[in-house]
Chain A
Amino acid sequence: MAVFRLKDSKTQKLADSLESQVRREFTEEELFQFAPYDPDAGERGGYSGYSYWRSTLRAFRKNKVSMFFLWVIVIMLLFTFVEPLLPYDKEPNTIYHSEQVVLDLFTRQPKVDAEGNVVVKTDLAKDIKPCKEFWFGTNVIGQDLWSQIWQGTRNSLFIGFAVACVDALLGILVGVLWGYVRKLDFFFTELYNVFDNVPQTLVAIIISYILRPGISTMIFAMCLTSWLSTARFVRNQVVIIRDRDYNLASRCLGTSTWRIIRKNLLPYLVSIITMRMALAIPAAINNEVFLTYISLGVPLETPTLGTLVEAGRKVMSEAALRYQLFIPVIILATITISFYIIGNSFADAADPKNHVN
């Protein structure tokens, strides 16, 4: 509907401006003037200068909300790489200790030893609330949450991107073959029918259970079946456009299959695939949180948002320690909501129907 309304208002505007041009009063001078001759103007043909990607980008940039979220993601991603280089940065896995002045039991004064120095007791700097020293506080064993969270964000985003990339690569490769090469259709369709019936989470559980925990295991477990649905999707698109006239013409002219795929089929699919990738990232992060909860996640020395949320969940019954849950949750939610909104509005922007303006 919105598209039609946009078109209506656009044509109305055009009609108005034409009318005002016609009705305009011209002065004597303007009426009797030589028109300038421009040789370039004579050469100009009917080429519209329409570029798909420029129009897509323009339509996307018009959407203020998704531009905002895109900046949020870009800045967050950059910051996760910049953060370890900042001065006074703390190591994510170092356990910090704090020194406390020991009070005398009776006088409530700082205890003093024989040489007149104040007695100091060293203790784990655990469960310290966000303060100047530890910006996001420390966790239950005294690790700095600020550096843990940014490294965790980096790791989680890495998992998400890796899964999305493998997903897209395998999905496109298999999907195009599946759709274009008729002999493979039966085999892949049967394969899909069998494996599509198994919930992805279940596969991820089995794989993570069998293999050694780690980031690569997790990526492998999530990729193992997710590319099937992408491939299916690509296949359906390819089947639709496979026998269009322009492809037939290419084939008749003796274009190689590889070139047809690259030049005729893929450009048509790019926008849809980009959207699917954007939506695959939050899904991967979601899966990671879930797998960590059922103790199939990555080992503790590699923080991810999943392990941080899980660590925060364990202490959430204590009101004073809830910051350990809420900070990672807020960051996690920001990432997933951003990707969701970016993915959806990119799909709108990539639709040529929305380029009329």
Chain B
Amino acid sequence: MAKYIGKRLLRSLLTLLIIITIVFSLLRLMPIEGYFQNYEKMTTTQIQVGLQQLGLKDPLPVQMLHFWQGVARGNWGESHKYRVGVDVMTIIAGKMPLSLALGMAALGIALLLGLPLGILMARSASSKWKILDRFGTVFVVIIQAIPSAIYHLLIQFYGSQLPGFEMFFSAGKPITWLLPIFSLSLGNIAYYAMWLRRYMVDESNKDYVKLARAKGVPSAQISRRHVFRNAFVPLAQFIPTSVILTLMGSLYVESLYSIPGMGGLLVQAIQLQDNTLVQALVLIYAAISILGLLVGDILMALLDPRITLGKKEGGR
């Protein structure tokens, strides 16, 4: 296991290196307005001198070398538009904890609501309460089919009209945390409910469940002790996907509720065309999603003793 994890870690690192290289070279094509505060008023020579000073006239490999040297020293460059002259890492570090807290809360809520919903749907699928399964399926279909941008918007719109709720986020008021967290977790709730139901229905048609039923084990116990435990294992591989879903959702939700987090920052940086900030944020997001996939793989291996990922065909 340790060998597998080590290998997987090394591979992720390599992937990250390749991706950063590609993203870095791609971002050299960015509009050069993004490096200057008052681009419109500058003359061509001023712009050229400015670019020279920023080291953007150097050949690409040299730029890359400078970038890596900077990153190794913890220097990711300075913001050019958002907060002029401030190190981008200082800006991002101030915003990261909030995004992390929101994302974690959303994931937790998705698991807390999605898993019981899946169990409920699976159990009612074969009983007289079929209507519950139908309702659950309709909910899942709606959440999956409607663009997330739309339902985030509608939740903000109608949710803020409820008494006590507010349209925008303020860190001091706990009630303003509810709507964005709920919005973020909704997609994952549907996702978990759908797949857990599917796996549980598959699992409950197997022989060992029939045997347990024939022995007279109460059905609640069967679904808790046998069906759920076996159906949960493949769900672990969805955790990375849901981390990525939450990350991408946070881009939209954070700027919608004007939450001062990382997702909102990326949107703002794009709108302001602040190149260094965009670059740093894109790299961080790529790193987080690669990490998420890694954690998901390891988690699956830990949860299910039957899976040995060390094999050549294993993994994703």
Contact = CB atoms under 8 A, between A and B. Distances in A.
A199 B15 contact: no
A47 B7 CA distance: 56
Interface stretch (B101-109, B175-183, B284-292): B284-292
Per DSSP, chain B at the interface is helix
A188 to B, nearest CB: 14
Contacts of B293: 197
A201 B147 CA distance: 14
B244 A290 contact: no
A206 B26 contact: yes
A320 to B, nearest CB: 15
A197 B289 contact: yes
Residue of A1, A209, A210 with most chain B CB atoms under a 10 A cut-off: A209
B271 interface: yes
Nearest to B272: A295
18 contacts: A194-B15, A197-B19, A198-B290, A201-B251, A202-B282, A202-B289, A205-B266, A205-B270, A206-B27, A293-B149, A294-B271, A316-B153, A325-B153, A332-B150, A333-B150, A337-B141, A337-B142, A339-B145
Nearest to B245: A199
A209 B270 contact: yes
Interface in A186-215: 193-194, 196-199, 201-202, 205-207, 209-210
A202 B286 contact: yes
Given A285-B147, A295-B271, A206 B252 contact: no
Interface in A305-355: 309, 313, 316-317, 325, 329, 332-333, 336-337, 339-341
Contact of A199 (B141, B147, B271, B285): B285
B30 A210 contact: yes
Interface string A85-111: 000000000000000000000000000
B197 to A, nearest CB: 13
Interface in B267-290: 267, 270-271, 278, 282, 285-286, 289-290
Contact of B252 (A282, A290, A325, A336): A290
B139 to A, nearest CB: 13
Contacts of A316: 153, 157
A206 B275 CA distance: 11
Nearest to B19: A198
A317 B142 CA distance: 25
A295 B167 CA distance: 21
A340 to B, nearest CB: 4
A51 to B, nearest CB: 31
Contact of B282 (A205, A293, A329, A333): A205
Interface of B: 11-12, 15, 18-19, 23, 26-27, 29-31, 141-142, 144-150, 153-154, 157, 167, 205, 244, 247-248, 251-252, 255, 266-267, 270-271, 278, 282, 285-286, 289-290, 293, 316
Given A194-B19, A199-B247, A295-B271, A282 B282 contact: no
Nearest to A210: B29
Contacts of A329: 150, 153-154
Nearest to B167: A317
Given A210-B27, A289-B150, A201 B248 contact: yes
B125 to A, nearest CB: 9
Interface of A: 1, 193-194, 196-199, 201-202, 205-207, 209-210, 282, 285-286, 289-290, 293-296, 309, 313, 316-317, 325, 329, 332-333, 336-337, 339-341
B252 A293 contact: yes
B165 to A, nearest CB: 15
Nearest to B267: A294
Contacts of A202: 248, 282, 285-286, 289
Contacts of A198: 19, 286, 289-290
Contacts of A197: 12, 15, 19, 286, 289-290, 293
Nearest to B291: A197
